[in-house]
Amino acid sequence: MEKILDIVDAIAHEKGLKPENVLEALKTAFVQTAKRVINHNFTFEADIDNKTKKMHLFQTIIVVADDDKRLQDTEIAGGYISLSDAIKLDEDVELEDQLQIDHSLEDYGRTAAGRLHNEIEYHVQRLVENELYNKYNSKIGTIVTGRVTLVDSDQNTYIEVDEVRAVLPMKNRIKGEYFKVGDLLKAVVRRVNIDKTNGIQIELSRTSPKFLEQLLALEVPEIADGVVLIEKAARIPGERAKIALLSMHPQVDAVGATVGVKGVRINAVSEELLGENIDCIEYTTVPELFVARVMSPAIISHIDIERNEKNEPVKAIVTLPSDQKSKAIGKSGINIRLASMLTGMVIELVEQESSSAQTNSAQEEQKDGVDALQALFS
């Protein structure tokens, strides 16, 4: 027992754990071993003497009346003691008091030793996984970097990230990009799971808008420092993205700072995203103005906003010249899709009548008026 306790600090140092947590894991291992080896119906407690560094295992027994039926049940009788027998041990004992009996797992031979070893290994591993879970769960939405160790037949990419192996599923990979063993790549932590069968599982993504935001934070000091905020971001991975930016300082141009001199900053991010085009838009809380900016490069004539019962904007009716409609929609509808994603509204396009059509309409109305007057006085 003493040798096991002597290596607690070594285990804590090797696994990067707190010694007090390792000690608690050991206590749990001793209790579970006692339940398996002695009796699973009994209640056990483990305690460590900090001076001697010895582990003490106790069984808790309850004092009951001499005629209590539980004393006759062979499966649980060992967990109870009659009042008359208890008084022999302690004159001041009363009914329902709890006494403790010292046990030593060494008395149960190799079976107990083997089970104890397995229990310690299991609980220390669970402790390691919980520590890793907490560590990476706090990193959800942030970038990690690692080397590719495996690409399976389904094109799922496994990456070694520090002390764990994470997976980049094919669905979270930008269309057209491929990786091979040894490649160094960046991705954002999307999800962290833990279970008894598979342990800790970390899912990465390169298609999430968060990945774009984190890349911008790496390239643009103003974003990293909080001078420029990314209010919203929308992506169609590998093709195009739109980001809404807000400056927190009157002398800082949010869009200019993000794009950089001659586009050097935004181009660096675009290169990481396989040439994805990134539109930078100045954010505003005025929905009409925001929609007009988001619909760029199309030129908008007029915007009507429809709101729900909570006064939240849910639909934008965009009036624009007919020659601007194709720009508003974009190739394969990509521009209007991103605009809808970024604003959170349904966008409806309405073509504005051409000037010639308006003139013809006015002339027809004028002619109808003249004909009506002539009919009236004829």
Q: Which two tokens stand for residue 142?
A: 């942030």
Cβ(313)–Cβ(287) below 8 Å: yes
184-195 and 143-151: which strand pairing?
A: antiparallel
Strands (E), 30-93: 43-49, 54-64, 80-82
Does residue 236 carry a pLDDT above 70? Answer: yes
Distance from C-alpha of 345 to C-alpha of 312, rounded to nearest angstrom:
10
The two tokens of residue 74 are 């062979």
Can you tell me which residue has the tokens 């808790």? 60
Per-residue pLDDT at 56 exceeds 90:
no
Q: Is 175 helix (H, G, I), strand (E, B) or coil?
A: coil
Half-sphere exposure of 213 (CA within 13 A, CB side): 20
Contacts of residue 205, defined as CB under 8 A and 6 or more positions apart, other chains included, come to: 168, 172, 187, 188, 190, 211
pLDDT(359) > 70? no
- What confidence category does residue 63 fall into, taking pLDDT thresholds of 50, 70 and 90? confident
* Range in 102-111, 138-147, 315-324, 369-378 with the lowest mean pLDDT: 369-378
User: For residue 334, what is the enclosing H or E element?
Assistant: helix 334-343
Distance in angstroms (rounded) separating the CA atoms of residues 328 and 99:
80
Mean of the per-residue pLDDT values for the chain? 88
Reported confidence tier of residue 371, pLDDT bands at 50, 70, 90: low
Kindly report, residue by residue over 137-171, the tens digit of the pLDDT.
999 999 999 999 999 999 999 999 988 999 999 99
Mean pLDDT of 58-66: 87
What is the Cα–Cα distance from 206 to 73, expressed in whole angstroms? 62
Tally of CA atoms within 13 A in the half-sphere of 113 that contains its CB:
7
Distance CA 107, CA 200 (A): 37
Residue 360 predicted with pLDDT over 60 = no
How many angstroms separate the CA atoms of 276 and 272, rounded? 8
- pLDDT at position 372 is 47
**Which residue's structure tokens are 């309409």?**
361
CB 226 within 8 A of CB 263: no
Which pLDDT tens digit goes with each residue over 163-172?
Answer: 899 999 999 9
**b/e map of 175-188 (b: 16 or more CB within 10 Å)?**
eeeebeeeeebbbb
Condensed to tens digits (0 to 9), the pLDDT of residues 281-321 reads 999 999 999 999 999 999 999 999 999 999 999 999 999 99
Domains and CATH numbers, the chain: 2-135 (3.30.1480.10), 139-205 (2.40.50.140), 208-283 (3.30.300.20), 296-378 (3.30.300.20)
pLDDT at 255: 96
User: pTM of whole model > 0.85?
Assistant: no
Which H helix or E strand runs over 125? helix 109-137
Tokens of 119: 């229990």
pLDDT above 60 (res 2): no
DSSP state, residue 300? P
Residue 323, classed as helix, strand or coil, is helix
Enumerate residues 6+ apart whose C-beta is below 8 A from 66: 82, 83, 84
For 184-207, write each residue's pLDDT tens digit.
Answer: 999 999 999 988 777 889 999 999
Asked if pLDDT for residue 113 goes beyond 60, the answer is yes
Output 366 or 259, whichever has higher pLDDT: 259
